[in-house]
Structure 1
Amino acid sequence: MSDQPETGLPAGWEVRHSQSKNLPYYFNPSEKISRWEPPSGADTEKLKHYMAIYHTPKTVASEENNVQAGKIRAAHLLVKHRDSRRPASWKEADITRTKEEALSILQGYERRIKSGEITLPELAQTESDCSSARKGGDLGYFAKGEMQKEFEDAAFALKPGEVSGIVDTASGLHLIERIA
């Protein structure tokens, strides 16, 4: 029996941590393949459990420094569609829904969040097509010029605690919540 924790990844794959993005990613050393989304064949339940234990983000030590540097912190819930820049996610290898279907799905999520039934981070964990889903959609701190313009404009217009309306970018459709 191995003392390695069960990741739920197919043989040959491992979880690594990106220093530049400060996010976990998946790597197959023998094939020299890396990706943000789990490879096909992953046991998503085991993987979720593993990621929650070993790759939960640490609290940002110098939150004040980030704010002073003009950075904000936001979370988002992304729904991709077949015309998205990369129509695949950790949930689906090939996203075939139309933009209109994605809009309808996101409008349903927006209603649930605005009614107080569920929070954006809670919903993002299971429904977002972004790999940030495992962190409740938390993208960490970012400055102007680091995100797609439409996303950045919407995020910087929010006050902490506010949730945007639906934002359309090349990645798909988003709801954004400003955290700090």
Structure 2
Amino acid sequence: MSGLPPSWTIKISKTHNREYYYNSETEESSWEPPYGTDTEKLKQYLLSNLHKPEQIKCSHLLIKHRDSRRPKSWKSEEPITRTKEEAIQILKGYQQAIKEGTATLSEIAAKESDDSSHAKNGDLGWFTKGQMQPSFEKAAFALQIGEVENLFK
């Protein structure tokens, strides 16, 4: 669990936007963990449940379709004409190759990703909230380290 002594809980300060410790029996509150706290358990609990990264790094493979925001690719001067369903099928094929171990995300992204990240094998580098498309950002920040998101539309 949290590693806190009995009757102590963790709350989030609305004014300071950080956690504090509250004893429901004595109504005492503290910015510091109370006496008797298992600090290692508390650290793990906070990392797993409360502390979210402000900045993340991830890679992706983007396969555009004709209804994409910008239906162009570095691979051709012509606009992309494939349907969304066709793009999804292409991605499922790449996903299968990655699962089978016949290719890696970075190998496929270098050759097939329709955006400029292909030049870095799909690596988007470090970014903070507000820098990416909202739906992508939400999915990316929800991932754990090393976790792979399924197809993202």
Q: For 1:129 and 1:98, how far apart are their aligned partners in 2?
A: 14
Matches within 5 A, 1:5-154: 70-93=54-77, 94-154=79-139
Q: For 1:116 and 1:160, how far apart are their aligned partners in 2?
A: 20
Higher gyration radius (CA)? 2
Give the residue type in structure 2 aligned to 1:87: P
Q: For 1:111 and 1:149, how far apart are their aligned partners in 2?
A: 27
Number of positions where the alignment pairs a residue of Structure 1 with one of Structure 2: 101
- Kindly indicate whether structure 1 or structure 2 has the higher relative contact order, using CA contacts under 8 Å at least 6 residues apart: 1
Give the residue type in structure 1 aligned to 2:63: V
Residue 152 to residue 69, structure 1, CA distance change in 2 (3 Å) = closer
Residue ranges of structure 2 left out of the alignment (5+ in a row): 1-51
Give the residue type in structure 1 aligned to 2:90: I
Q: Which residue of 2 aligns with 1:62?
A: none
Give the residue type in structure 2 aligned to 1:71: Q
Q: Secondary structure at the match of 2:62?
A: strand
Q: For 2:72 and 2:104, how far apart are their aligned partners in 1?
A: 24
Residue ranges of structure 1 left out of the alignment (5+ in a row): 1-67, 169-180
Give the residue type in structure 1 aligned to 2:148: V
- Percent of pairs identical after alignment? 58
Q: Secondary structure at the match of 1:73?
A: strand
Query: 1:122 Cα shift?
Result: 1.1
Runs (4+) off by over 3 Å: none
Q: For 1:69 and 1:100, how far apart are their aligned partners in 2?
A: 34
TM-score between the two structures when normalised by the length of structure 1:
0.53
Q: Which residue of 1 aligns with 2:143?
A: 158
Structure 1 residues 20-43: Cα deviation after superposition (integer angstroms, max 9, x where no partner): xxxxxxxxxxxxxxxxxxxxxxxx
Higher strand share: 1
Q: For 2:82 and 2:124, how far apart are their aligned partners in 1?
A: 25
